[in-house]
Structure 1
Amino acid sequence: MMENLVLRHWRKMLHRIDSASVSAVCAAVVMAISGTGCANFPSADHSIQTLGSSGEMAPDSDIYLEIKQPTSQEEFLKNVKVMVDHDLLIRRDFYTNENMLKFFAARNGSSGVEPYAKKIRTWFITNEFDGIFSHFWEGNYLMPDAQLSTGINFEQGGEIIGRFNFNIQKELITIDDVKKVFDGELVMDKTIPFQPPPLATGAHGNEEWKYRQENKYGQIVGYFRFNGDGRLGGIFLEEKWN
């Protein structure tokens, strides 16, 4: 009886994860259930698609074929909008090197699928972008101006969380540039921070604009943060499905 309960738990956790991920956590299952191997865990290689509210896989779309690699910062923001509008943060097949290049001109990144603190994590990190964001000199070192960290966690309780974290320092992306793409979807955060930042030196300096959207499969929340001089400093977006 206990054996069946544990197996059902692991099947629920792993049925959306590809076979490579299953092999990564198989040893833990074998230790928990003596004599039980991984042959009974279903492979999801054929069904890497968006999750529906019933837990079934919804039909895939042509978005990965239609998307064009951005050649400007405006096109980069537009592709971020496409990402949230199509629930891509909670899709495992979104987090490939090919898609990161096509959506964000992100290249030469590090990526992986691994067990982490009782969950499965798929991630991608880079600070190199194909011709969109520049580098700058800091002393004798040439530093990247932008960094992207994104990934998806399959939590032990069945919850799926996708995150997009983009940080930038010196590029001149303003609130008007962001509003041009996310028109009517941003609300300025007027809460008073516990530790006020230094005085702003430009229009909209130190502002944070909240983002929230109810999609078909999940809720997306996040913010667009602006540095003291009014330049975009970071984008954080998170989508949950359970």
Structure 2
Amino acid sequence: MCPAANQAARQGVRRRSGGAESGAVHEPTVRKLATSLRDVAQFLREYKLVVVGGGGVGKSALTIQFIQSHFVDEYDPTIVHSYRKQCMIDEEVALLDVLDTAGQEEYSAMREQYMRTGEGFLLVYSITSRNSFDEISTFHQQILRVKDKDYFPVVVVANKADLEHERQVGTHEGQALAKHFGCPFIETSAKQRMNVDEAFHNLVREIRRYNKEQAAGRPGAAAATKPAQFQEEQTQSAGCCTGCVIL
């Protein structure tokens, strides 16, 4: 074989060897990446959210609409149901553990038990029920007493906004109550999926803000710095929230 042919053959062998080596490196890289992703999943920040409110205000409908993206029409009094969902909130992944609690008075002691472990609370009332609105202050006081805090992350949620013709509680009343609590306010419709995702996402934002204030050594600062934009940013959201995964 001529020298030129020998050189070409050697180059071909080197090229084939290089290709084989590249393929050998590729598989371990994939395995390493998969392992890294599993490790990240194990260390996702989990948020324990508790949905609180009187009977029949739509707590379960709101929760199921958020978790499963469908509306539950029939009313079946809940004792307690737990749901999990992974979401991207403000470019940060969050694993939400949502507890849907009973609104009936006979379950008050059980509700306190779940309040002890909750990191944030949706205080839900129906715009069609003055009584459910009046109960919100009682639930809020109960949370502060159980937590032994002057402030704790909550969001006031006025549900059933689609039933405007049956409204008994004005929007300004809900806003005033939320301002008194030092927390965000939002009107929702579980039936129309209006502001459902935002209600839960806003609560996660409140928890993050509260934790940052605590870490900075300013335990009372969170209550004095509630952002007003939550009351203004009540855009209707249809369909499932972007980047959410049911677990």
Category of TM-score, reference length = shorter chain = under 0.3
Answer 1 or 2: higher relative contact order, Cα 8 Å, separation at least 6.
2
Greater helix percent: which structure?
A: 2
Q: What TM-score, normalized by structure 2, do the two folds share? A: 0.25
**Higher gyration radius (CA):** 2
Which has the larger strand fraction?
A: 1
